[in-house]
């Protein structure tokens, strides 16, 4: 089997091995692939692995040997899965590999915003504590999370993991979810989305990106939030109207934001969130712990191994409607 990995660097920048994939055929790994190079590099491939490189119907038409596309992520919007299904091309994804890591990043952002560890570390290193007349100092409120309301939009694997951590910290949890009330664990209450934005001290986004959720955090919903509230987005960048969020932060309409995803990645230098007040931005790394990437690698190999054995797991391609 000829296997081509189009953009392997983000998964494996050199700190792990491709051996599990190499054992399955002739493997060519490219760190990155520009759109204009996809057809040349994937020519003759039976299987293509991609993270962010887009595979269109037109590309499939010009890759007659292609029988398998492995997405090295959970989201698979980079592949035309309907066309793949019509052609009998298997498309697999990697579900639930980064749940713990993303949940951890949610609270890394939240604790950074409420405890300001980076700020105080910089102040201490600059000599402010050493020259202070008192045994301690603070120049901003230090906020306790216990008893506060943590709002979650989307109670899938990650949303539920976040809820468990929030409950363990003594927070109240409200969620926007399709789950029935009797399906919710003790301590989680279901609310509608506007009520969640109005009630919550923290709002964390864990829903998929669809036409209905694009810019769900807009100027109107930001206006519902408390001035002391914090927004966390480790889900998808376009869930948030970035200009509206920057305006709300700069005007003090909300207290802060922790953002791991943006609408365009890497962002333009003038993205308003990069300079917004109390906005902490990390470069889409919530998924990227060593442990999560190792799970991703193992599942990617298992998906491909199953395909080679004549069966499929984690297949997301849409079969034709008449079959």
pLDDT in tens, the chain (323 residues): 999 999 999 999 999 999 999 999 999 999 999 999 999 999 999 999 999 999 999 999 999 999 999 999 998 999 999 999 999 999 999 999 999 999 999 999 999 999 999 999 999 999 999 999 999 999 999 999 999 999 999 999 999 999 999 999 999 999 999 998 889 999 999 999 999 999 999 999 999 999 999 999 999 999 999 999 999 999 999 999 999 999 999 999 999 999 999 999 999 999 999 999 999 999 999 999 999 999 999 999 999 999 999 999 999 986 554 33
Please tell me if the domain spanning 2-97+290-308 has the same topology as the one spanning 99-281: yes
Active-site pick, 109, 116, 236, 295: 236
Q: State the angle between helix axes of 99-115 and 157-168 in degrees (0 to 180), rounded to the nearest 10.
A: 40
Mark whether 206 is an active-site residue. no
In CATH, the architecture of 2-97+290-308 is 3-Layer(aba) Sandwich (3.40)
pTM over 0.85: yes
Question: b/e per residue, 269-280, with b = 16+ CB within 10 A?
Answer: eebbbeebebbb
Are 216 and 153 contacting, i.e. CB atoms less than 8 angstroms apart?
yes
Extents of the domains making up the chain: 2-97+290-308, 99-281
- For residue 38, count CB atoms less than 10 angstroms from its CB and return exposed for 0-12, middle for 13-18, buried for 19 or more: buried
Q: Which of 118, 183, 265, 291 is catalytic?
A: 265
- Write the CATH number of the domain with boundaries 99-281: 3.40.50.720
**Residue 265 known to be catalytic:** yes
Q: Centre a 10 Å sphere on the Cβ of residue 89 and count the other Cβ atoms it contains.
A: 21
How far apart, in whole angstroms, are the C-alpha atoms of residue 239 and residue 3? 34
Catalytic residue among 20, 284, 305, 318: 284
Annotated catalytic residue 58: no
Q: In degrees rounded to 5, what are phi and psi of residue 56?
A: -100, 170
């Amino acid at each position: 089997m000829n296997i081509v990995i189009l953009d392997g660097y983000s998964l494996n920048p050199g700190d792990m091995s491709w051996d599990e994939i190499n054992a399955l055929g002739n493997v060519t790994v490219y760190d990155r692939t520009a759109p204009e190079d996809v057809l040349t590099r994937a020519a003759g491939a039976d299987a293509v692995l991609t993270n962010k490189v887009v595979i269109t119907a037109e590309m499939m038409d010009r890759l007659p040997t292609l029988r398998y596309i492995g997405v090295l992520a959970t989201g698979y919007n980079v592949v035309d899965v309907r066309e793949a299904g019509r052609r009998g091309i298997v498309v697999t994804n990697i579900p639930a590999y980064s749940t713990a890591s993303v949940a951890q990043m949610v609270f890394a952002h939240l604790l950074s915003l409420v405890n300001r560890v980076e700020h105080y570390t910089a102040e201490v290193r600059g000599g402010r504590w050493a020259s202070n007349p008192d045994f301690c100092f603070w120049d901003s409120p230090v906020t306790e999370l216990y008893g506060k309301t943590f709002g979650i939009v989307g109670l899938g694997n990650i949303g539920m993991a976040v809820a468990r951590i929030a409950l363990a910290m003594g927070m109240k949890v409200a969620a926007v979810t399709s789950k029935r009330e009797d399906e919710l664990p003790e301590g989680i209450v279901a609310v509608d989305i506007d009520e969640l934005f109005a009630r919550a001290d923290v709002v964390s986004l864990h829903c998929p990106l669809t036409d209905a959720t694009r810019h769900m955090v807009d100027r109107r919903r930001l206006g519902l939030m408390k001035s002391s509230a914090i927004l966390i987005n480790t889900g998808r960048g376009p869930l948030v109207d970035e200009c509206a969020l920057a305006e709300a932060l700069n005007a003090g309409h909300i207290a802060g934001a922790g953002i791991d995803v943006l609408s365009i990645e890497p962002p333009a230098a003038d993205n308003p969130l990069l300079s917004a007040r109390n906005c902490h931005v990390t470069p889409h790394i919530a998924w990227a712990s060593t442990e999560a990437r190792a799970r991703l690698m193992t599942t990617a190999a298992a998906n491909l191994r199953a395909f080679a054995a004549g069966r499929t797991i984690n297949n997301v391609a849409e079969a034709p409607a008449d079959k």
